[in-house]
Amino acid sequence: MKVIVLDNYQQISIKAAQIVASQIILKEDSILGLATGGTPVGMYSELVKMYKLGIIDFKKIKTFNLDEYVGLSKENQQSYYYYMMDNLFKHVNINIENIDIPNGMADIKEECVRYENEIKQSGGIDLQVLGIGHNGHIGFNEPDIKFESVTHLVKLDEDTIKANSRFFDSVDEVPKQALSMGIKTIMHSKKIVLIASGKEKAKAIYGTVKGNITPNLPASILQLHNDVYIIADKEAASLL
- Of 65, 98, 135, 141, the active-site residue reads 135
Q: Verify whether residue 142 is a known catalytic residue.
A: yes
Do 44 and 88 touch, CB atoms closer than 8 A? Answer: yes
Q: Determine if 63 is a binding residue for ligand F6R (CB under 6 A).
A: no
DSSP state, residue 80: H
Q: Verify whether residue 87 is a known catalytic residue.
A: no
Cα separation, 231 vs 237, whole angstroms = 9
Do 13 and 7 touch, CB atoms closer than 8 A? Answer: no
Our CB check for ligand F6R shows the closer of 19 and 60 to be: 19
Q: Verify whether residue 134 is a known catalytic residue.
A: no
- Of 116, 137, 141, 164, the active-site residue reads 137
The sign of the dihedral angle between the CA atoms of 107, 111, 114, 116 is negative
Site string for ligand F6R, 138-177 (x = CB under 6 A): xxx-------------------------------------
Q: Which stretch binds ligand F6R (CB under 6 A): 25-33, 48-56, 129-137, 215-223?
A: 129-137
Provide the edge-to-edge strand list for the sheet that holds 228-233.
Answer: 2-6, 228-233, 191-196, 127-130, 31-34, 62-65, 99-100
Candidate list 102, 133, 136, 207; residue touching ligand F6R; CB under 6 A: 133
Q: Which stretch binds ligand F6R (CB under 6 A): 2-10, 32-40, 108-116, 229-237?
A: 32-40
Candidate list 13, 30, 39, 98; residue touching ligand F6R; CB under 6 A: 39
Q: Determine if 38 is a binding residue for ligand F6R (CB under 6 A).
A: yes
Cα separation, 162 vs 157, whole angstroms = 9
205's CB contacts (< 8 A; 6+ apart) are 132, 196, 230, 232, 236, 237, 239, 240
For Cα atoms 207, 235, 46, give the angle at the middle one, nearest 5 degrees.
105
Q: How many CB atoms lie within 10 A of CB 224?
A: 11
Q: Determine if 182 is a binding residue for ligand F6R (CB under 6 A).
A: no
Q: Smallest gap, in angstroms, from Cβ of residue 54 to ligand F6R?
A: 28
Q: Which stretch binds ligand F6R (CB under 6 A): 30-38, 48-56, 111-119, 151-159?
A: 30-38
Do 233 and 205 touch, CB atoms closer than 8 A? Answer: no
For Cα atoms 225, 194, 49, give the angle at the middle one, nearest 5 degrees.
130
Q: Which stretch binds ligand F6R (CB under 6 A): 31-39, 51-59, 144-152, 228-236?
A: 31-39
Give me the active site residues, please: 67, 135, 137, 142
Which residues of this protein are in contact with ligand F6R, per CB under 6 A?
35-39, 66-67, 131-133, 137-140
